[in-house]
Amino acid sequence: MKSNGVQNISDHLYQSALKFPDKPMLLHPGKVSYKVFCKLVDAYATGFINSGIVKGTKTIVLLKPGVDFFATTFALLRIGAIPVMIDPGMGRKAMIQALANANAGAFIGIAKSMLLKYISPKNFKSVCIWISGGCCWDMQVKHLSTFRKKGGKNYEVAKTKPNDETAIFFTSGSTGPAKGVVYTKQMMEAQIAGLKNHFNYNPKEIDLCTFPLIGLFSMCLGLSVVLADMDMVHPARLQPEKLVLNIYWYGCTYLFCSPVVLQKLAEFCVQENLKLNSLKRIMTAGAPVTPELLSNVARVISDEAQIHTPYGATEALPVTDINHKELLHLYENSPNYLNGICVGYPLEDIKLKVVPISDEAIKKIEDVEECDKSEVGEIVIQGENVSQGYLNDQLADKLSKIAAESGNLLWHRTGDLGRIDDKGRVWYYGRKSQRVQTETKVLFTIPVEAVFNRHPQVERSALVGVVANGKTEPVICIQAKKGTHKSEKLVDELKELALQQELTHNISEFIFVKKFPVDARHNAKIHREKLAEWAQKMRK
């Protein structure tokens, strides 16, 4: 990976400020140019240094998306400190447990988050520096506002090496405890290059930001950013008309969002007969994207616009890509998801293999054979944009990383199941940990659930395994659509659907759940482990 004169990730931001100083970096809320924003970053960097935050200091950041959030993050990167990012939507208990593992030395957050210092002192005993983004109620707490008022630059930019830890981003915790993913400078550079080269990002674009991490990358690429008028912690609560106004008012050309955001936006535009003609590229990821959703979105954008459904994870962004026109053609004559979800082709700099399913550690990539074409196995990947390790988690590293040939970059086991078709496209079948192994077969969540999701009265379904007489049996949890209730007729119809497919013909037990537990970030990743525990209790 060539450095392009970049010795620090934040250099991308400053290079943009030199090229077009008066160009808006943030258009909403408030208008801030690249030049003015960099001055704010300098002020914060100076304040952090004076407060004792130095190169290598892990620093928890719990600020709301906005000028202070982005300026704080870039200032930490500028001085070589390591921002630690986590999604508060996972819940306070899970968040505290995850952050306790960070062993952070500093904490920067909104005033309310300062309460963690007293709520759970043992989990934050390593934190010596507390900086508040709000009003002061503790004389020990320093303020971002103080740094902003003092201004000025009095620090040295940290020179970072490719393998230096640069940031920590926690996984969503949707399939287990949240893990801290270590981002190195090389990994972040590769992600920036991938967005620029594969997706053709350019400084003329205007990004409607619904997810702060992607906003950071957009700023590194010189885009103007509009922060969406929505609660980014709870995207399902958004009011789509506000996003439409964001797009119309600022002429947004690019949008990255989760499928739940895109669905609400598309439904509103179809209902109101609105067109989003300024959008040239939409990227949606984090959960399955249905053909119906793609069709609806295609109705409200221009014919030239592209909808991308890239596949990736916190450990690697992005891994594959495909556009909506090819997807709609693929699904034209095929029942939805009975053969998995197509997530596209591996990106140019990604090596991707499918290996036999195993819950055991794999020491060397030479120890495993690749699956045959169209055989379902675990997706493993290698590339410069792929994380090489987790934060203070040797067990996760052991189970998720595979040594490569000749000391090259480690391979990462995604924990996702899939296959590769004869065209080189990857098809996703669900999480490895959520497969159900019976005495006679292995059942995967995506194709099994697709059988029952076709019923017009089913909102969504979830495959889980329950143990009876020492044997694992498949059970389908059903979340019915609003206004629909469990009935003998509905259960009989679901059983009939099961009998129509070889895959599901032995499934006959259905448990109705009022509302599925899902992740806050995408409102779509079903916590099947919780449903399995509940279903097991129902059996007793």
Q: What is the pLDDT of residue 137?
A: 52
256 or 4, which is more confident?
A: 256
Q: What's the helix, strand, coil split of the chain in %, to 5?
A: 35, 25, 40
- What is the pLDDT, as a whole number, of residue 3? 47
**Are 66 and 227 within 8 A, CB to CB?**
yes
Kindly report each contact of residues 69-74 with a partner whose C-beta sits within 8 Å and lies 24 or more positions away, as own/partner: 69/212, 70/26, 70/37, 70/212, 70/215, 70/216, 70/219, 71/37, 71/40, 71/41, 71/44, 72/44, 72/108, 72/133, 72/144, 73/216, 74/10, 74/13, 74/41, 74/216, 74/219
**% residues pLDDT > 90 (the chain):** 77
Q: Please give the mean pLDDT across all residues of the chain.
A: 92
Q: Which of 56-60, 177-181, 266-270, 454-458 has the lowest average pLDDT? A: 177-181
Lowest-confidence pick of 106-110, 519-523, 529-533: 519-523
The H-or-E segment that residue 170 falls in is: strand 165-170
Rounded average pLDDT over 215-230: 96
pLDDT recorded at residue 408: 86
Scan for tokens 């801290």, then name that residue.
Answer: 180
Summarize the confidence of residues 389-401 as an average pLDDT: 95
> Mean of the pLDDT values across residues 352-380?
95
450/415 Cα distance (integer angstroms) = 20
Highest mean pLDDT (candidates 139-143, 286-290, 444-448): 444-448
- Determine the pLDDT at residue 235: 85
Question: What are the tens digits of pLDDT across the range 323-341?
Answer: 999 999 998 877 678 889 9
Averaged pLDDT, 350-357 = 97
Give residue 523's pLDDT.
65
436-539 and 11-187 share a CATH fold: no
User: Among 131-145, 189-203, 224-238, 361-375, whose mean pLDDT is lowest?
Assistant: 131-145
Mean pLDDT, residues 76-81 taken together: 98
Mean pLDDT, residues 302-331 taken together: 94
- pLDDT at 522 (0 to 100): 63
Residue that wins the pLDDT comparison between 1 and 487:
487
Span 136-162, average pLDDT: 85
Stretch 474-489: mean pLDDT: 93
In this structure, how many other beta carbons lie within 10 angstroms of the beta carbon of residue 472?
15
Where do the domains of the chain lie? Answer: 11-187, 436-539
pLDDT at residue 498 in the model: 96
Confidence of residue 151 (pLDDT cuts 50, 70, 90): confident
Residue with tokens 């493993």: 380
**27-55 pLDDT per residue, tens:** 999 899 999 999 999 999 999 999 999 99
**What pLDDT score does 370 carry?**
95
Chain-centroid distance of CA 396 in Å reads 19
Quote the percentage of the chain above a pLDDT of 70: 96
Which CATH class, in words, describes the domain spanning 11-187?
alpha beta
pLDDT at 290: 86
Beta-bridge partners for 428: 341, 418
DSSP symbol at 247: H
CA–CA dist 248, 262 (Å, integer): 16
* Span 254-277, average pLDDT: 96
The architecture CATH gives domain 436-539? 2-Layer Sandwich (3.30)
Q: How confident is the model at residue 469 (pLDDT cuts 50, 70, 90)?
A: confident
CA–chain centroid gap for 63, Å, is: 18
Write the CA distances from 108 to 118, 123, 147, 245, integer angstroms. 15, 16, 13, 32
At residue 5 the predicted structure's pLDDT band, cuts being 50, 70 and 90, is: low
Nearest to 526 by CA among 534, 517, 515: 517
Beta strand residue intervals within 96-137, DSSP E = 106-109, 129-132
Give the residue-averaged pLDDT of 299-304: 96
> For residue 48, what are its two tokens?
């952090």
Helix axes 67-79, 34-51, angle to 10 degrees: 60
